[in-house]
Amino acid sequence: FECELCGRRFSDAANLNRHQKTHLEDERKRPHMCDVCGKRFSESSNLVAHKRIHLDDYMECRPYVCETCGKRFTHLANLRAHEKTHLR
């Protein structure tokens, strides 16, 4: 018997049902969930602060920015190729 939410396995349905209640309690205590990684927070302000981690990761791995539209790229060559689309 496997939990559909977290993948944890149980030997019988009773243990699975008991475990699944912990997910419901967690959702009630921490209703604000990150749409990127699934981490949950009790306060929306904590979720907002957490989301900056994902934004920083995104910005760090895509350092090249198109000055025309703001799209970001991992490689300079990709940015240069993209910039040509604005000239058409």
Per-residue pLDDT tens, the chain, 88 aa: give them.
999 888 999 999 999 999 999 888 888 899 999 988 889 999 999 999 999 888 888 788 889 999 999 999 989 999 999 999 999 7
Those residues whose C-beta lies under 8 Å from the C-beta of residue 19, and which sit 6 or more positions away, are 3, 8, 10
Which domains are assigned to the chain?
30-85 (3.30.160)
pLDDT at 55: 83
The pTM score is 0.49
- State the Rg of the chain over Cα: 21
d(CA 30, CA 19): 17
Provide the token pair at 42.
């009790």
